[in-house]
């Protein structure tokens, strides 16, 4: 008789190797599927955003005579005002970079101001290709050049967007009260009156809306539960929270507030000065500029490259409500948006070149762990 080993101590090398190979194959297959799924999702987002913006632009310019664009650009447009608006477009992004650097200091990050500004330049250019991707791109730049924690950087970006949204909402509310008649006409013209939309719903329509809302809630719940499986998500949310709370601890709160108002003041001047480039908009006045600026800022929430399509439609509609001929309004939004987009591209190219000549900081042990 001989001693018999328990089953769990038995050694079967062939079976174990086969199991190992099987698990490896499954892991490789799963990883490949995840990469393909992500690639497909990203591609679909890009295609849909381009289709949406393109569809709106096609609908707006389907009967437009583009042969006159050359005449307007060369003979009817005052380019000095356009050139005068450029510094404000650049300053808006510079102030945003300086404010971001200040937001990162309370969470223990000290990026160079030049790298922070160049990351902003590059982020706007990236968003022209993939809407909203610029926010991740600028965090990636700081991670690569400065060793900044990616989750913390994302957290401060969320903080910035929240503060900017609050400021825009405040300005919108004040503008709405002062220019209520213009907004009311805009809602009637675009068919976005809430009372009329609600009144046009049948019982079946309300039922479908309720089902869709419930489905969205269920889907969001499932996604959140799936995400909680991964430890990286916990670290991400910790970084986000640190970023959100960073504003309370900025060293110079008045300077942070100044940067915030300077950003939006420069955005507005970058837009308002273009009014004087065209005879049809030169005499519209400050109120029209503020109202159309606010409506355009809200329209770019729709994820299209640089707001192309929704911005054109919103601003063109507001200009026509203030008495600008439809053709002149179409010229204005097309030329202004195109020229300002070229400025964004130029700044993005400059930032890419500048970053390639900027030495990377050596990561400390703490930065490597992050």
For 201-259, write each residue's pLDDT tens digit.
456 555 655 655 665 566 556 555 555 444 555 665 665 555 556 567 788 888 998 99
Weakly modelled stretches of the chain, pLDDT under 70: 1-35, 37-42, 45, 179-247, 362-370
- The confidence score (pLDDT) of residue 6 equals 44
Q: How far apart are CA 148 and CA 155, in angstroms?
A: 12
pLDDT confidence of residue 181? 65
DSSP string, 82-142: HHHHHHHHHHHHHHHHHHHHHHHGGGT----HHHHHHHHHHHHHHHHHSTTHHHHHHHHHH
**95 contacts 287 by C-beta, under 8 angstroms:** no
Contact criterion met (CB below 8 Å) for 77 and 334? no
For residue 289 the two structure tokens come to 């500029």
pLDDT reported for residue 9:
42
- The whole-number pLDDT of residue 2 equals 42
Q: Per-residue b/e over 2-29, b at no fewer than 16 CB within 10 Å? A: eeeeeeeeeeeeeeeeeeeeeeeeeeee
Q: Are 275 and 286 in contact, with CB atoms under 8 Å apart? A: no
State how far the alpha carbon of 102 is from the alpha carbons of 125, 137, 150, 153, 158, in Å.
23, 19, 16, 12, 14
> Which pLDDT does position 368 carry in this prediction?
45
Is the pTM value of this prediction over 0.75? no
- Residue 302 phi, psi (nearest 5): -65, 125
Question: Would you state the structure tokens that stand for residue 154, as one six-digit string?
Answer: 């994302």
Predicted pLDDT at 335: 94
Of 121, 118, 163, nearest to 253 (Cα)?
A: 163
Q: Residue 358: left if φ>0, alpha if ψ -120 to 50, beta else—which one?
A: beta
């Amino acid at each position: 008789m001989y001693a018999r080993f328990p089953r769990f101590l038995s050694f079967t090398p062939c079976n174990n190797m086969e199991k190992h190979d099987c698990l490896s194959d499954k892991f490789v297959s799963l990883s490949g599927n995840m990469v393909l799924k992500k690639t497909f999702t990203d591609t679909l987002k890009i295609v849909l955003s381009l289709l949406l913006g393109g569809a709106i632009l096609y609908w707006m310019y389907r009967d437009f005579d583009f042969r006159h664009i050359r005449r307007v650009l060369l003979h009817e447009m005052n380019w000095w005002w356009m050139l005068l608006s450029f510094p404000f477009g650049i300053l808006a992004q510079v102030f945003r970079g300086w404010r971001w650097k200040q937001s990162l200091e309370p969470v223990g990050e000290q990026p160079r101001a030049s790298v922070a500004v160049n990351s902003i330049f590059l982020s706007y250019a990236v968003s022209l290709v993939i809407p909203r991707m610029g926010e991740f791109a600028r965090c990636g730049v700081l991670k690569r050049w400065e060793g900044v924690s990616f989750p913390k950087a994302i957290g401060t970006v969320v903080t910035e967007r929240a503060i900017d949204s609050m400021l825009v909402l405040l300005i919108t509310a004040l503008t709405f009260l002062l220019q209520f008649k213009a907004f009311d006409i805009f809602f009637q013209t675009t068919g976005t009156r809430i009372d009329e939309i609600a009144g046009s719903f049948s019982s079946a329509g309300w039922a479908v809306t309720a089902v869709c809302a419930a489905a969205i809630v269920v889907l969001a719940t499932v996604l959140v539960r799936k995400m909680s499986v991964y430890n990286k998500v916990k670290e991400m949310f910790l970084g986000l929270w640190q970023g959100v709370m960073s504003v309370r601890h900025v060293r110079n709160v008045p300077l942070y507030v100044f940067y915030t108002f300077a950003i939006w003041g420069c955005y507005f001047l970058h837009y308002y000065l273009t009014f004087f480039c065209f005879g049809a908009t030169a005499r519209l006045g400050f109120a029209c500029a503020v109202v159309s600026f606010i409506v355009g800022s809200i329209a770019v929430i729709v994820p299209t490259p640089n707001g192309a399509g929704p911005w054109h439609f919103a601003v063109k509609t507001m200009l026509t409500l203030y008495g600008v001929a439809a053709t002149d309004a179409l010229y204005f939004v097309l030329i202004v948006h195109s020229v300002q987009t070229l400025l964004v591209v130029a700044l993005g190219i400059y930032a890419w070149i500048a970053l390639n000549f900027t030495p990377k900081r050596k990561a400390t042990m703490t930065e490597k762990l992050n």
